[in-house]
Amino acid sequence: MKIDVLTLFPSMFEPVMSESMMWKARDRGLLDFQAHDIRGYAVDKHRTVDDSPYGGGGGMILKPDVLARAIEAVKADDQSPVILMSPQGRLLTHAVALELSRHARLILVCGRYEGIDERVRELAINDEISIGDYVLTGGELAAMVLIDAVLRQIPGLLGAEGAQDRDSHADGLGGLLEGPHYTRPAEFRGLGVPAVLTSGHHAEVDRWRRRQAIKRTWQMRPDLLARANLSDEDRAFLAQLMEDAGD
Ligand code: ADE
């Protein structure tokens, strides 16, 4: 996958893109990443990238000519989506990350200041994505979050094949959160490990994990249960949980 980012702060990306999974993806040739400096497309001698808004009010707006030139130069003749990182966009979810991971190339535009000129949005932006209902000072951190979530969906990137399908929110778990995990030692500060996990009965372990996922989702994010893919057995277990809690 190729990912191009347009930003006023390209150096913000290098530390993150050079570590851990991001670096692995680049090293293995699964990711071709490039950060492009929007300021490089400014033409006046001060390299101005922003201007005050028509109609007054606070904040500065990215100049349309500079941003349009940057997008056109990076996009060239490609049909890949140009995505604006913005608090007004559609929310980044597991489903959106999966959808984006199927593109061969993504072009991410990081807004700064108050925003971008509406005409560039109309002419050159194909999609707009938010990472949550809060406002960041710029789209850079949001772009990094998006890249991380998208890359995890690319087959062959994570150690165990299909591991991402068992993540919280993933289809393999039917849209549930993952239950608790344990590793050695068997006793830690007076707390043990559920016996089923050391029993060696794989079917029992699977059943326990499924029930724990239902329980955790119900406790932490009950809103997800309405959209979760639950079997009759799952529903019976959930009904029992609710009944026990009502006692
Ligand atoms: N830029 C500023 N706030 C943002 C958000 N919540 N998501 C994506 N980009 C942003």
pLDDT for 27-64, tens place per residue?
A: 999 999 999 999 999 999 999 999 999 999 989 999 99
Please tell me if the CB atom of residue 135 comes closer than 6 angstroms to any atom of ligand 1. Answer: yes
Mutate to test the pocket of ligand 1, among 128, 130, 133 (most ligand atoms within 8 A of CB): 130
Cβ of 136 below 6 Å from ligand 1: yes
The ligand 1 atom nearest the CA atom of 137 = 2
Average pLDDT, the chain: 95
Cβ(85) to ligand 1 under 6 A? yes
Confidence (pLDDT) at 161: 64
Gap between the Cα atoms of 135 and 114, Å rounded = 11
For residue 233, what pLDDT band results from cuts at 50, 70 and 90?
Answer: very high
SS3 52: coil
Q: Percent of the chain scored above 70 by pLDDT? A: 98
Number of Cβ within 10 Å of residue 104's Cβ equals 9
Instruction: State percent of the chain over pLDDT 90.
Output: 88
- Residue with the bigger pLDDT between 160 and 193: it is 193
Residue 82 CA, ligand 1 centroid: distance in Å:
16
| Size of the chain in residues | 247
Give one DSSP letter per residue of 139-186, joined into a string: SHHHHHHHHHHHHTTSTTSSSSTTGGGGSTTSGGGTTPPP-----S-S
Place of tokens 């639950």: 230
Please give the model's pTM, rounded to 2 decimal places.
0.94
Is ligand 1 within 6 A of the CB of residue 155?
A: no
Nearest CA residue ID for atom 4, ligand 1: 87
Q: What is the pLDDT of residue 168?
A: 86
Residue 119, judged by CB atoms within 10 A of its CB (0-12, 13-18, 19+), counts as exposed
Kindly state if the Cβ of 116 falls inside 6 Å of ligand 1: no
